[in-house]
């Protein structure tokens, strides 16, 4: 039997640490729990919103008149070189546990905050690696029909920060099956430590933010050429870093209220201490407008801005 709580503060459950309360809130671990929570929302006529690690969301200041279904999980099982994982498991915990068992190949994802399910939905990635690279199948349930389905990797339609589940939010990911390579445990642990250090070097990670706020956009040829010449780097899939465009537009360090386009990595919008969700949204709109005016490029949020 699930416990539905009322008026639960969400700021402390999101890495941005901003926003109001959830009218209703429930923590779930299993697929059965999720179905029960959905049944409760339906029965009481409330909308529901799925939250997991809270590392890619902006909670509105006025809170959410909805049932927040918080996906938390702890169970995963390792068999040979494969792992079946509850969607709510923390990604870093599983990467470390796999390393201890001498399984690796995904260490470059270490340090991406949040859960395995959240990572699958956004095809999270770092240093040229993406979670799609290790996925065998993903189990999800359809919140409209109640049907469950196991999606083989190609059915997940993974692309840059994209998946079938992101395009079709009526599906909730419940279990994730991955396939890793046998590796030396010490070497795998070393790679994890090195990756986390490198992330810290590029941008302090213990920060009130949602990571990169905008998706790296596909840019017109002249902008791509400008980037490649300046950075002596090849643009990937026609994309240029959103942070580079923001900096070029003179917006590094720009503030609205307590929200700031980080000096260290301008694509991180940071809560400097007293930011509201409204500050974050207004700064994001300002950045989008000026980048569009200067470069003709439409920035699109990677962070999920709840209303």
Ligand X SMILES: Cc1cc2nc3c(=O)[nH]c(=O)nc-3n(C[C@H](O)[C@H](O)[C@H](O)COP(=O)(O)OP(=O)(O)OC[C@H]3O[C@@H](n4cnc5c(N)ncnc54)[C@H](O)[C@@H]3O)c2cc1C
Q: Which residues are catalytic?
A: 161, 212, 302
If one asks whether residue 266 binds ligand X (CB under 6 A), the answer comes out as no
- Burial of residue 218, with CB atoms counted within 10 A of its CB: 0-12 exposed, 13-18 middle, 19 or more buried: middle
Question: Whole-number minimum distance, CB 274 to ligand X, in Å?
Answer: 18
Interface with ligand X, residue 304, by CB under 6 A:
yes
207 interacts with ligand X by CB under 6 A = yes
Task: Choose one: 4-12, 44-52, 151-159, 281-289; the region binding ligand X (CB under 6 A).
Answer: 44-52
- Beta bridge partner(s), residue 304: 57
- Does residue 19 touch ligand X according to CB under 6 A? no
> Which among 178, 152, 173 is positioned nearest to 83, based on CA atoms?
178
- Shortest reach from residue 43's CB to ligand X, in Å: 21
Of residues 52 and 256, the one with the C-beta less far from ligand X: 52
105 touches ligand X (CB under 6 A): no
Does residue 272 bind ligand X (CB under 6 A)? no
For ligand X, the closer of residues 135 and 295 by Cβ is: 135
Quickly count: other Cβ atoms within 10 Å of residue 149's Cβ.
13
CA distance 204 to 264: 8
The CA–CA distances, whole Å, from 259 to 83, 238, 268 equal 39, 30, 10
From the list 55, 45, 51, the residue with the least C-alpha distance to 63 is 51
When binding is defined by CB under 6 A, the residue of 10, 52, 68, 246 that contacts ligand X is 52
Q: Which residues contact 76 (CB under 8 A, 6 or more apart)?
A: 83, 84, 85, 86, 89, 94, 97
CB of residue 52 vs ligand X: minimum separation in angstroms?
Answer: 3
259 is a site residue for ligand X (CB under 6 A): no
Question: Token pair for residue 151?
Answer: 């999606």
Residue 57 interacts with ligand X (CB under 6 A)?
yes
**Listed ranges 142-150, 202-210, 221-229, 252-260: which one lies at the site for ligand X (CB under 6 A):** 202-210
Give min distance, CB of 196 to ligand X, in A: 11
- Interaction between residue 121 and ligand X (CB under 6 A): yes
Considering only 26, 89, 115, 280, the residue that binds ligand X (CB under 6 A) is: 115
Our finding on whether 125 is near ligand X (CB under 6 A) is yes
Q: Is 117 in the site for ligand X (CB under 6 A)?
A: yes
For the CB of residue 87, give the shortest distance to ligand X in the complex, in Å.
4
What is the chain's alpha carbon radius of gyration, rounded to the nearest angstrom? 20
Taking 3-state DSSP, the helix, strand and coil percentages for the chain, each rounded to the nearest 5, stand at: 35, 30, 40
Looking only at residues 79 through 98 of this chain, which bind ligand X when binding is defined by CB under 6 A? Answer: 87
CB 147 within 8 A of CB 140: no
Q: How far is CA 99 from CA 27, 110, 187, 189, 243, in A?
A: 28, 11, 8, 6, 32
Only one of the segments 116-124, 177-185, 217-225, 244-252 lies at the binding site for ligand X (rule: CB under 6 A); that segment is 116-124
211 in contact with ligand X (CB under 6 A): yes
Which one, 19 or 53, has the nearer CB to ligand X?
53
Contact residues toward ligand X (CB under 6 A) are: 15, 50-57, 71, 87, 112-115, 117-119, 121-122, 124-126, 165, 172-173, 205, 207, 209-211, 304
């Amino acid at each position: 039997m699930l416990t539905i709580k009322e008026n639960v503060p969400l700021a402390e459950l999101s890495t941005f640490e901003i926003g109001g309360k959830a009218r209703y809130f429930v923590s779930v671990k299993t697929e059965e729990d999720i179905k029960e929570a959905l049944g409760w929302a339906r029965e009481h006529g409330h909308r529901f919103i799925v939250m997991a690690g809270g590392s890619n969301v902006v909670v509105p200041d006025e809170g959410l008149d909805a049932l927040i279904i918080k996906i938390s999980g702890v169970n995963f099982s390792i068999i040979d070189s494969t792992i079946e994982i509850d969607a709510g498991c923390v990604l870093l915990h599983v990467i470390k546990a796999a390393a201890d068992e001498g399984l690796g190949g995904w260490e470059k994802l270490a340090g991406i905050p949040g859960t395995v399910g959240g990572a699958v939905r956004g095809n999270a990635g770092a240093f040229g690696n993406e979670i799609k690279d290790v996925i065998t199948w993903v189990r999800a349930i359809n919140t409209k029909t109640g049907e469950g389905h196991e999606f083989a990797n190609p059915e997940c339609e993974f692309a840059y920060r994209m998946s079938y589940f992101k395009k079709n939010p009526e599906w909730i990911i419940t279990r994730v099956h991955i396939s890793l390579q046998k590796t030396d445990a010490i070497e795998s642990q070393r790679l994890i430590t090195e990756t986390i250090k490198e992330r810290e070097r590029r941008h302090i990670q213990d920060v009130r933010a949602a990571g990169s706020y905008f998706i790296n956009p596909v840019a017109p040829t002249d902008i791509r050429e400008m980037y490649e010449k300046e950075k002596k780097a090849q643009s990937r899939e026609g994309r240029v870093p959103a942070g580079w465009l923001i900096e070029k537009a003179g917006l590094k360090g720009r503030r609205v209220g307590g929200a700031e386009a980080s000096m260290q990595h301008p694509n991180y919008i940071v809560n400097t201490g007293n930011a509201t969700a409204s500050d974050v949204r207004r700064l994001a709109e300002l950045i989008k407008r000026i980048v569009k005016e200067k470069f003709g490029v439409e920035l699109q949020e990677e962070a999920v801005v709840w209303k």
